[in-house]
Amino acid sequence: MRRTLVLLILTALAPAAALAQSAGEVERCFQTPGACSNSGAAAPPPSAPAPPAAAPRAAPQPDYATVLNSPEPDRRKLQESLRTLDKYNGPIDGNMQSEPTMKAIGDWQKGHNAPVTGKLTPPEAVALNNEAARTPIKRIDPSSQAAAAPPPVPPAPPTQSNADALKALQARLAERRKAAEPKAEAAAKSLVADLKAYAAADGKGAAGEQFAGFAKWYADNKATGRTVGEIASVIDDYGDAKAGAAVTSEVLIEVKKDSNSQSQCLVFAWIEGSPRRNAQTFSCDDVAGVEKWKTDQALRSAWR
């Protein structure tokens, strides 16, 4: 019975002794670290190796595909925002990869110190639309509109009937002819006097020297035995030309042979002067020749 009691006491004290020994050992190792290495106590477990350093992660690439592939109304709105900000004046067609659109985006990015790519990321698209929404609407200055307005169109003159227009034209021609007629009649009268003098002198005088065609006509008639009778003129045209006053006069000349007589018609054209200039003779049938002469002299008729 006594032995059993002793064994029970020793068994109860064993854990306490082991605990006391462990506490003493810990204190000894703390005060003298070198002593712990020689003792039979177990060494602390080795520390685990440090994990390898993680490789640096690559910077994410900008997302341009989202805006480029966004619905067409969204892309049109971005172009409208660029136009509102005076960056874009091209068509609103939703083409974000057209040259004008990419240039406008680049200009906007440059103004915001962003990388100039000509393409938008989603955050940039939002910022662009927001900025355009805050931009006040430009209104036209009425004063500048008034300054740029074209002058008023004068009222159209009242319409005139064809009959009234013809009467007005005839009145103007009558006034011009009345003013020019005295000069034209004097020129024609002088011509007739020279033609008569030439015939009276039997082919000599100023008329033949100035009008070579008349001199030939006179010589041809004389060769066939004809003589010149009465001479009368009718003024065909008169007016200012580039070299002076121009006259064309239709002249009827009576030609006689024996008891027969007939009238021959000639047109004399000349520029007034002493002597006459650019003088020519035409048959009355040569209308084209007479009109060409008038054109060459740049005749501004007072008759028409």
Give residue-wise pLDDT tens across range 131-188: 988 887 665 555 555 555 677 777 766 676 788 887 887 788 788 888 888 998 999 9
Residues 11, 29: Cα–Cα separation, whole Å: 28
Query: What pLDDT band is residue 282 in, cutting at 50, 70 and 90?
Result: very high
Q: Is the pLDDT of residue 2 over 90?
A: no
Task: Confirm if 185 and 179 have CB atoms less than 8 A apart.
Answer: no
65-133 CATH, one of 1.10.357, 1.10.3210, 1.10.101, 1.20.1070: 1.10.101
Average pLDDT, whole number, for the chain? 82
pTM here is 0.46
Share of the chain above pLDDT 70, in %: 76
Q: Is the pLDDT of residue 196 over 90?
A: yes
- Going from N- to C-terminal start, the domains of the chain cover 65-133, 173-301
Task: Confirm if 101 and 82 have CB atoms less than 8 A apart.
Answer: yes
Cβ neighbours of residue 23 under 8 Å, at least 6 residues apart?
Answer: none
CA 21 to chain centre: 109
Task: Confirm if 279 and 302 have CB atoms less than 8 A apart.
Answer: no
- To the nearest 10 degrees (0 to 180), the angle between helices 72-84 and 122-134 is 50
Residue 225 to residues 25, 218, 222, 228: CA-CA distances in angstroms?
180, 11, 5, 10
Amino acid at 24: G
Residues 275, 272: Cα–Cα separation, whole Å: 8
Q: Is the pLDDT of residue 12 over 80?
A: no
pLDDT of residue 180: 86
Tokens of 96: 């974000």
Count Cβ neighbours within 10 Å for each residue of 93-122 and write b for 16 or more, e otherwise.
ebbbeeeebbbbbbbbbeeeeeebebbbbe
Q: Name all contacts of 295-298 with Cβ < 8 Å and 24+ positions apart.
A: 297/241, 297/242, 297/243, 297/246, 297/271, 298/241, 298/242
What element of type H or E holds 125?
helix 122-134
What element of type H or E holds 3?
helix 2-31
